[in-house]
Amino acid sequence: MKISSAALSHPSGRLAQVMSRLHDACARAGRDPGTVELIAVSKTHPASAVADLVGCGQFLFGESRVQEARAKIPLCPGRARWHFIGHLQSNKLRQALPCFECFHGIDSLDLAVQADRVAQELGLHPRVLLQVNVAGESSKFGFRPEALERDLETLLGLRRLQIEGLMTLPPAAPDPERSRPFFRQLRTLRDELAARSGAGLPQLSMGMSGDFQIAVEEGATLVRVGTALFGPRPAKGRGMEISDP
Ligand SMILES: *Cc1c(COP(=O)(O)O)cnc(C)c1O
């Protein structure tokens, strides 16, 4: 489907274009589009922008800062569902756990243990994805693959956390093809961990505006798309790994 540039200045046109690219990628990979969920990453954008997309039929949203999300979510339509996609500080767990149905940035055993304890206190069973630093970048949060192999059994023993799969954020690169090996590595790691532990680990959260089609080709079940849906963010909000002050 070709979409005119005029249509792309409207949320409905941008959503239609992203959905069409997502369907194309599914077709290339022989996948059912129903197996991939689009998360609209609304960080830095106002509640009104979320409401626009809800009006177009998009209900799943992602935020990466607890304070921003706590201010925004009550102003958004109640039909919106929320995933936390950023690095979570342990002192924000108590505030964050009740706001989100799934947490993509659980990036250390210590954080997982604390999340389990706070979830117990609050009577919650949060869905969790374990963030993996597949490229081994020192600037990125996440489990190194070998640490995850070592810690998985302990993680799966945390009774309050529903560990559903893995998430990654590959190194920023101008050419989306550069992300492919990292997406493939995440999927392979998931397959190994699932086979070894007997845990299902069905979810792979990977792919953003620049590379979500590649991620879908490599097995993503959740893609996190901000810019392609909402337009550019102010420069300050661009950092991927900035946490709350
Ligand atoms: C901001 C962010 C995204 C969305 O990035 P875009 O390039 O705007 O699509 C996805 N994942 C994470 C973890 C993010 O912080």
Q: In the predicted model, is pLDDT for residue 236 greater than 70?
A: no
Please give the Cα distance from 190 to 184 (Å, whole number): 10
Q: Where are the alpha helices (DSSP H) in the chain?
A: 11-29, 47-55, 66-72, 93-96, 109-122, 145-156, 180-197, 212-217, 227-230
Percentage of the chain modeled with pLDDT above 70: 95
186 lines ligand 1 (CB under 6 A): no
Please give the Cα distance from 106 to 244 (Å, whole number): 16
What pLDDT is recorded for position 60?
98
The SS3 call for residue 182 is: helix
CA of 197 to the centre of ligand 1 (A): 30
Please give the Cα distance from 16 to 214 (Å, whole number): 18
The per-residue pLDDT for range 156-170, each reduced to its tens digit, is: 999 999 999 999 999
126 lines ligand 1 (CB under 6 A): no
Percentage of the chain modeled with pLDDT above 90: 89
Range scoring the smallest mean pLDDT among 9-13, 88-92, 121-125, 182-186: 9-13
CA of 206 to the centre of ligand 1 (A): 10
What pLDDT is recorded for position 244?
44
CA of 239 to the centre of ligand 1 (A): 9
Closest CA to 187 of 209, 202, 172: 202
Number of Cβ within 10 Å of residue 27's Cβ equals 11
Residue 236 burial (CB < 10 Å; 0-12/13-18/19+)?
A: exposed
Residue nearest to atom 14 of ligand 1 (CA): 240
The per-residue pLDDT for range 105-120, each reduced to its tens digit, is: 999 999 999 999 999 9
> What is the atom index within ligand 1 of the atom nearest the CA of 230?
8
What pLDDT is recorded for position 1?
54
> What is the atom index within ligand 1 of the atom nearest the CA of 41?
4
CA of 199 to the centre of ligand 1 (A): 28
CA of 222 to the centre of ligand 1 (A): 12
Task: State pTM to two decimals.
Answer: 0.94
164 close to 102: Cβ distance less than 8 angstroms: yes
What pLDDT is recorded for position 2?
63
The per-residue pLDDT for range 29-54, each reduced to its tens digit, is: 999 999 999 999 999 999 999 999 99
Q: In the predicted model, is pLDDT for residue 242 greater than 90?
A: no
Q: In the beta sheet, which residues pair with residue 225? A: 40
